[in-house]
Amino acid sequence: RAETLRFGARLIINDRIDVAILSKADGVHLGAASVRPPDARLLLGKTSIIGASAHSVQEALQAEAEGADFITFGPVYFTGSKARWGKPLGLDALREVAARVKMPVYAIGGVNSERINEALSAGADGVAVISAVLASADVSGSALKLVNELKERRNHQKEGKSL
């Protein structure tokens, strides 16, 4: 927590409301088998950020109706860490979810620096990654490359250009 405060970053704890409370995190991300957003909100308070996993349009709409602040949607592409959720949902499903919900949508599952622009062009507000960083021989370099890709995309959008 000290490091996120030092860098002005938010701390979102994955699926552990108890750890989020004890660490004074900014919020929690709830898995599909976790407690529902309204229950998390009761425990964490109204200022905490609550995210939810969604693997279909229906799950995304349910998470929004239940008060989630954002969703991760996927897996968009194949990745071993999300294989248990079935085959990749693809960019068309991401596009549909992004069009149907009002909250931010983060693409997850097989997203890497080469696929960021595809995911964002399909309507994702951002991306969530695991293996794109942790499976790399150069973890710091891979993370920096992803951050730079996102910054470049944001700068082009501000200038009215598309990538």
Higher pLDDT, 82 or 33: 33
Distances (CA, A) of 7 to 10, 65, 142: 9, 33, 19
Higher pLDDT, 40 or 159: 40
Using an 8 Å Cβ cutoff, are 161 and 131 in contact?
no
pLDDT above 80 for 156: no
Distance, in Å, from the CA atom of 64 to the CA atom of 100, rounded to the nearest integer, reads 10
Distance, in Å, from the CA atom of 62 to the CA atom of 68, rounded to the nearest integer, reads 9
pLDDT above 50 for 22: yes
pTM for this prediction: 0.90
Higher pLDDT, 152 or 98: 98
pLDDT above 70 for 161: no
Band of pLDDT at residue 88, cut at 50, 70 and 90 = very high
Band of pLDDT at residue 160, cut at 50, 70 and 90 = low
Helices and strands: H and E segment counts in the chain: 8, 6
Mean pLDDT for the chain overall: 92
